[in-house]
Amino acid sequence: MPSQYRVCTRCVMDTSDPEINFDVEGVCNHCKKYEEAVRRSVFPGESGAKKLDDVVKSIKRESEGKEYDCVIGVSGGVDSSYTAYLVKKAGLRPLAVHLDNGWNSELAVKNVERLLNKLEIDLYTRVLDWEEFKSLQLAFLRASTPDSEIPSDHAIVATLYEKAKELGLRYIIPGTNIRTESHLPREWSQGHRDWLYIESINNQFGIRKLVTYPHYTFIDNIFTQRKYRWVPILNYVDYAKFEAIKTLENELGWKYYGGKHYESIYTRFYQGYILPKKYGYDKRRSHLSSLLCSGETTRADALKELETEPYPPEMMEADKTFFLNKLGLTEQQFKEIMDAPTRRFQDYPSYEKKYVNTFWFQLFKRIYRSIR
């Protein structure tokens, strides 16, 4: 971490990211990556409309005669809900896939129900084995890395792949996008695709084997999953988060839940309490910086928001009680988790260490890319 505290002069990312660096004007590397990502992958106006039209035609052509033509992930949040809205508006026949990990807020459940009923989209819900998943979540908390959202994130992607394979579909349409998800420090969270990392954490700190937990391996990453095409259509439209919220509220009866990914009680408490108190990471910096670079907020407003608590203290206390009860933790056990020395992704076994960072794998990757 830089020896002196600094905040980017463009966004609000700061030296709580140990890997951050700044140019001579004080602009951080995340803003530079945002600019490059926008140039490469965001298609506004007519170019985006053309690209979206082309991909919709391809999806319809390839899925002719099938009940569905694509799968979409839905959580009840803004991005995935607006994606469902756009997919239906484009005339596609999606199957919505939802992961129930036991932490959905009541509002998120109602949002999913209202949204899909209004849009007439069928829903498949994958309900995780709670005792197995609880063991994995506790294992990540005890591993003391800032990666405890990974068990849910990995399972969501694995479930989307599984359902696409089962239905014989090639297209997966997620709610991911660059405008609201561009400032993502690796040190704050990494290893989402790394099954060896997840399994090693569970083996070391968990109390149950992962028998039913949906996952995908290193070989799946390299070969199997390449037959599927992820289409982040929010990058093909002039996506503005707050305009999307208005549309969802006015047309579909959807209701906002107050923060990025706060449709999950676990996420709300983890990002709003555990990350800032134990690691010094305020995820709002990441979310606000993305919105700032996309022109949806100002730096002054973002800095002002960061002066407030992540969410109302009374809700935080209620969430803490719910969190401890659901995971079966005492106050003392939770204190031990919070007081334990912090560790990093690199401290545990992973595919990245075993394969990706090796000379032979990098050579294979260069050769493979050259012959594709």
Q: What is the pLDDT of residue 361?
A: 66
Please state the rounded mean pLDDT for residues 123-152.
97
pLDDT digits (tens, 9 = 90+) for 220-247: 988 877 899 999 999 999 999 999 999 9
Could you tell me whether strands 94-100 and 70-73 are parallel, antiparallel, or unpaired per DSSP bridges? parallel
pTM across the whole model:
0.92
**% residues pLDDT > 70 (the chain):** 94
The C-alpha torsion from 22 through 282 and 131 to 335, rounded to 10°, is: 120
Over residues 200-214, the mean pLDDT reads: 97
pLDDT of residue 360: 65
Segment 250-281, tens digit of pLDDT: 999 998 876 554 678 999 999 999 999 999 99
Residue 175 C-alpha from the chain's centroid: 9
Strand boundaries in 39-170, DSSP class E: 70-73, 94-100, 122-127
Q: Look at residue 3 in the predicted model and tell me its pLDDT.
A: 66
What is the overall mean pLDDT for the chain?
92
Residue with tokens 């600094």: 6
DSSP 279: I
pLDDT digits (tens, 9 = 90+) for 325-345: 999 999 999 999 999 999 999
When pLDDT is cut at 50, 70 and 90, the band that residue 323 belongs to is very high
Q: Residues 62, 124, 175, 268: what is their CA dihedral angle, to the nearest 10 degrees?
A: -170
Query: Amino acid identity, residue 133?
Result: F
Q: Which CATH architecture has domain 43-279+311-346?
A: 3-Layer(aba) Sandwich (3.40)
Check residue 255 and give its pLDDT.
87
| Interval 117-141 mean pLDDT | 97
